[in-house]
Amino acid sequence: MNLHRLLLIGLLLLGLMLSMLAPLSRAQPPSQQDENDSNRNSLSPRIRNGVVPVPLQINELQAVNLVRQRFEGNVLRISLIGEAATRRYQIRMENEGKIFTVFVNANTGAVSSGN
């Protein structure tokens, strides 16, 4: 009976000691925390606030090529508009004296007409 009691007390003490050490294992040394803070401060305000820019999948040249596959005409102007996932190229075109707008999703390459 004494052996069981000693074993139980030993296990309880071991569990207590491990639970006390767990928070220490997650803590970072002050120098690491300071480095993380300085890295965070060097980021642009949008990234610091949790807004991370989505990289473009389609560049301007690819957007123009996609539009030319569906529409005839001369490209007058191309602009990148929108934010994050809704970014798209606005392409102004002219064909036989008529000016029209075409949009290309900068992430997916989906083409849609604006008129």
Q: What percent of the chain has pLDDT over 70?
A: 58
- As a whole number of angstroms, the distance between CA 91 and CA 84 comes to 18
Instruction: Put residue 72 in one of left, alpha, beta given phi > 0 → left and psi -120 to 50 → alpha.
Output: beta
Tokens (6 digits) for 26: 């997650």
Q: What is the pLDDT of residue 6?
A: 72
Domains in the chain, please, with CATH? Answer: 2-48 (no CATH), 60-113 (3.10.450.40)
Reply yes or no on whether the pLDDT at 61 is more than 90. yes
When pLDDT is averaged across residues 100-105 and rounded to a whole number, the result is 96
In tens, the pLDDT along 63-99 reads 999 999 999 999 999 999 998 889 999 999 999 999 9
| 64 burial level (CB within 10 Å; 0-12, 13-18, 19+) | middle
Predicted TM-score (pTM) above 0.85: no
Distance, in Å, from the CA atom of 91 to the CA atom of 102, rounded to the nearest integer, reads: 5
